Amino acid sequence: MSTFVSPNSTAEKHRFEAVDSLRGVAALAVAIFHLQVASHVYGLNFIRNSFLFVDFFFVLSGFVIAHAYHNKLANGQQFLEFAIKRIARMWPLHCVMLICFVLAETALFVLSHRMALPLPRPPFTHDRTLIGIPINLLLIQALVPVQGASWNGPSISLSLELFAYTIFALTVLLGGKRAGRYQFVIMLAGLIGLAVQMDDRARLARCIFSFFMGVGVWRYRDLARRLPARTFEVLSVGTAIAMLAFAQKEYLYIACPVVFSLVVTSITFEKGPISRVLKHPFLLMLGRQSFSIYMVHFFLAFMLTNAIKVATKILHVPSTVPGTDLVTIAGSPWMMDAITIAYLATVIGISKFTYERIEKPGMEWGRKLAIRSRERAARHGSSDEASAGWGQPTAHVSLPPEVALSTE
């Protein structure tokens, strides 16, 4: 592990705006994927494979977390601050969206007992059972094999990322100079897990492989500076688009993290034409709101598709395309195109609100809790070794409130 980005390098203080915008675009693609309506775009192979952007989120999270924290986890106190900030970054919006789902299920439960609603399924069944609520509140739904614990589907990736964050922090804290070797071994373990079970059930292996690929990108990114930046950027992004548009699903679970790692590497240099486009103000806004887009859209898609199904059944007209689960109105793909556009606009609008009113206050709350924890440890004076956990003095560090997805 000879190539290591210096903590004093100029890149350490740089915010990668272009790749942040790309995360916003990817979040919108996932939002379209989850809106199961018979529009013209839904049947495109690129959209059908957009669920694989979760691997992009994992890769990018690995890169961002390594960039922000690899040199700031020297003792137990810093580990505690890291944990506080990561949970504060994820949990508030996750909790709000879980409440929205629970309220919606409760309303459907009450209404279904007062009138004969043609519901697609009984309330509090399938992916949204009562036992899943406390599991979701603890963000362990991806690690506990309990059916009916999904609720807000994208939150599963948050549970996986939280696990990956913990493993990463422990490798840095306990591994010291050998942390890179441990991270490489963990990445290989994820790859082997994917090779053994290359399907949707290998969620943990996908997360571990992709996340630590992102950590590897951070470690070895400088090697790519020798490549022609513009050509590298266009080829990596073009390969990713072609892969999602044309490749068969069974080959993508391993290929995607590798290709997405090349995309993250090239875009973070911000020297090509795609990076310039990604710095458009609208796309930068999408990047800032990407976590909200990812977390909010599933509830809106759930409400919209179920509302259409109920309305069409009441009117005694077909609610889905024959032979599929795709929702339609009067069999018109053009009408579903219009609904898709309105849905995306609504997702972006609500995400702006949740970013300002939930995400940012949550990050500030986490920052204050971390400061209090640091001050409380400092007040112990001579017991710093105990609070640090591994006998090292507690350093004052300022941790950036970087954006983390999911991930899901």
- Residue tagged 């362990």 (tokens): 140
How far is Cα 381 from Cα 384, in angstroms, rounded to an integer?
6
Q: What is the pLDDT of residue 200?
A: 67
Q: Can you name the residues that pair with 320 across neighbouring β-strands?
A: 327
Q: Give 3-state DSSP helix, strand, coil % of the chain, rounded to 5.
A: 70, 0, 30
Per the CB < 8 A criterion, the answer to whether 32 and 42 are in contact is: yes
Secondary structure class of 37 (helix, strand, coil): strand
| Residues in CB range of 109: below 8 A, 6 or more apart | 123, 124
The structure tokens listed for 78 are 């810093």
Return the structure tokens found at 232. Answer: 């590298």
What one-character-per-residue DSSP string does 302-330 give?
HHHHHHHHHHHHHTTS--B-TTS--B-ST
* C-alpha span between 245 and 259 (Å, rounded): 14
**Chain centre to alpha carbon of residue 13:** 23
50-87: pLDDT as tens digits: 999 999 999 999 999 999 998 889 899 999 999 999 99
* Residue 396 to residue 405: CA distance in whole angstroms: 27
* Spatial distance between the Cα atoms of 175 and 172, rounded to a whole number of angstroms: 5
Q: What is the pLDDT of residue 238?
A: 97
Calpha distance 405→278 (Å, rounded): 18
- Angstrom CA distances, 226 to 4, 232, 272, stand at 16, 10, 14
**CB neighbourhood size of 271 (10 A):** 16
CA distances from 322 to 38, 162, 325 (A): 11, 40, 8
Owner of token pair 């996750």: 94
| Count of other CB atoms within 10 angstroms of residue 145 | 7
d(CA 406, CA 89): 12
Digits of tens for pLDDT over the chain (408 positions)? Answer: 333 343 334 444 567 899 999 999 999 999 999 999 999 999 899 999 999 999 999 999 999 999 999 888 989 999 999 999 999 999 999 999 999 999 999 998 998 888 877 777 889 999 999 999 999 999 999 998 888 889 999 999 999 999 999 999 999 999 989 999 999 999 999 999 998 887 667 899 999 999 999 999 999 999 999 999 999 999 999 999 999 998 776 678 889 999 999 999 999 999 999 999 999 999 999 999 999 999 999 999 999 998 888 888 777 888 888 878 899 888 889 999 999 999 999 999 999 999 999 999 999 999 999 999 999 988 875 444 444 444 333 333 333 333 334 333
Cβ atoms 100, 94 nearer than 8 A: no
The rounded distance, in Å, linking the Cα atoms of 146 and 149 is 6
CA count, 13 A, side-chain hemisphere, 340: 25
* Residue 313: per-residue pLDDT: 79
Helix/strand/coil for 113:
coil
* Burial (0-12, 13-18, 19+ Cβ within 10 Å), 383: exposed
pLDDT of 85-128, one tens digit each?
Answer: 999 999 999 999 999 999 999 998 998 888 877 777 889 999 99
Given a contact cutoff of 8 angstroms between Cβ atoms, the answer to whether 145 and 159 are in contact is no
Are 155 and 295 in contact, with CB atoms under 8 Å apart? yes
CA 113 to chain centre: 37
Q: Which two tokens stand for residue 31?
A: 């939002």
pLDDT for the residue numbered 321? 86
| Residue 92 contacts residue 362 (beta carbons within 8 Å) | yes
Question: Which amino acid, 214?
Answer: G
C-alpha dist (Å) from residue 257 to 57, 87, 195, 208? 10, 25, 13, 10
pTM: 0.89
Alpha helices in 221-325 (DSSP H): 229-246, 252-269, 273-278, 281-288, 290-314
